[in-house]
């Protein structure tokens, strides 16, 4: 299922690689701290009603690193410029893990940029209980296995199974290096973000987390609900940090219902 096209756009003097696929209402997708995993079942299932617009994060291989981007707020500002230049705003967004951090920063800076917000296992806020998993000391294979409740999940094996090629290994390590560069201190959160999110009133926001998530604790979702008045949270049972591949049918149903509201 490789139903996408790859293009390059100049945004504020820097090259951004974009993937587009599907047809219908635009849906901005912000991938996680490991990069875009490929066009998988949940993308295909939603592509009949939504055109995915997927920026590949600067410094993750296909988009060159941008030196002036020093933190997630800078990256959010850059993506906001891209969304406006592409004529997307206001746009629906679905964002995963560190991508959720980016989307939250965009929302805090300019709530009008989004019409619906879906944050899946989002980093970005410091939980009162628990800790965001330190993803950098572990090997990439250990890191990947911790993102799912069951590594035998078929689509997980399709994406990440088998031996990694040198190119795949390099791409993962480039992604982790860039995530460390912009998210190391404070670790994968912004202390001022919960206060800035107070401006984001009235934007429909859905928080999704797997009950067995070992990367992002439930306290992160609690913090987002506290910061975003009127947001709604759904905990998907028996899945980890990757509910979109561990239970794609239920994930797609939840997303369809929310975006149709």
Cβ 123 vs Cβ 97: under 8 Å: yes
Report DSSP state, residue 234: E
pLDDT higher than 70, residue 259: yes
Q: 2 falls in which pLDDT band (50, 70, 90)? A: low
Distance CA 233, CA 216 (A): 14
pLDDT, average across residues 32-60 = 95
How far from each other are the two terminal CA atoms of the chain, in whole angstroms?
Answer: 28
Distance CA 219, CA 131 (A): 8
Model confidence, pTM: 0.96
Q: Which is more confidently placed, 82 or 168?
A: 82
Residue 159: which residues within 8 A CB-CB, separation 6 or more? 37, 38, 40, 245
Q: Is 115 exposed, middle or buried (0-12, 13-18, 19+ CB in 10 A)?
A: middle
Q: Which is more confidently placed, 38 or 78?
A: 78
Q: Which pLDDT value is given to residue 131?
A: 96
Residue located via tokens 């190119």:
167
Q: Which pLDDT value is given to residue 8?
A: 96
pLDDT, average across residues 220-249 = 97
Q: Which pLDDT value is given to residue 94?
A: 98
pLDDT, average across residues 187-193 = 98
Residue 154: which residues within 8 A CB-CB, separation 6 or more? none
pLDDT, average across residues 85-93 = 96
Cβ 107 vs Cβ 113: under 8 Å: yes
How many separate helices (H) and strands (E) can be counted in the chain? 10, 8
Residue located via tokens 């299922």:
1
pLDDT higher than 90, residue 258: yes
pLDDT higher than 70, residue 245: yes
What is the pLDDT of the chain when averaged over all its residues?
Answer: 94
For the chain, the domains span 5-259
pLDDT > 70 in the chain, percent: 98
Pairing of strands 25-30, 91-96: parallel
The values of phi and psi at residue 64, to 5°, are: -60, 150
pLDDT, average across residues 228-236 = 96
Q: 26 falls in which pLDDT band (50, 70, 90)? A: very high
pLDDT higher than 90, residue 122: yes
Structure tokens of 223? 């913090």
Total residues belonging to the chain: 261
Q: Which pLDDT value is given to residue 146?
A: 94
CB atoms within 10 A of CB 3: 12
Distance CA 185, CA 206 (A): 27
pLDDT higher than 60, residue 1: no
Nearest to 33 by CA among 213, 243, 179: 179
Q: Which pLDDT value is given to residue 169?
A: 81
Which CATH number among 3.40.190.10, 3.40.50.970, 3.40.50.1820, 3.40.50.150 corresponds to the domain 5-259? 3.40.50.1820
């Amino acid at each position: 299922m490789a139903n996408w096209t790859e293009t390059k756009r100049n945004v504020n003097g820097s090259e951004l690689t974009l993937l587009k696929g599907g047809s219908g209402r635009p849906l901005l997708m912000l991938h996680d701290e490991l990069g875009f995993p490929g066009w998988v079942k949940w993308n295909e299932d939603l592509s009949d009603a939504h055109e995915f617009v997927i920026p590949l994060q600067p410094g993750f291989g296909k988009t060159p690193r941008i030196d002036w981007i020093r933190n997630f707020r800078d990256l959010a500002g850059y993506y906001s410029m891209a969304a406006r230049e592409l004529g997307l705003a206001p746009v629906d967004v679905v964002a995963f893990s560190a991508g959720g951090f980016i989307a939250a920063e965009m929302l805090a800076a300019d709530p009008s940029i989004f019409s619906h917000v879906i944050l899946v296992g989002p980093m970005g806020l410091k939980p009162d209980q628990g800790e965001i998993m330190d993803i950098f000391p572990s090997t990439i294979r250990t890191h990947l296995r911790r993102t799912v409740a069951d590594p035998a999940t078929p689509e997980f094996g399709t994406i990440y199974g088998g031996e990694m090629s040198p190119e795949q290994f390099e791409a993962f390590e480039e992604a982790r290096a860039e995530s460390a560069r912009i998210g190391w201190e404070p670790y994968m959160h912004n202390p001022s973000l919960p206060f800035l999110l107070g401006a984001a009133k009235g934007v429909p926001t859905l928080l999704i987390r797997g009950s067995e998530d070992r990367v992002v604790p439930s306290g992160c979702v609690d913090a987002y609900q506290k910061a975003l008045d009127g947001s709604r949270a759904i905990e998907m049972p028996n899945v980890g940090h990757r509910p979109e591949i561990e239970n794609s049918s239920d994930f797609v149903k939840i997303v369809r219902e929310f975006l149709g509201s």
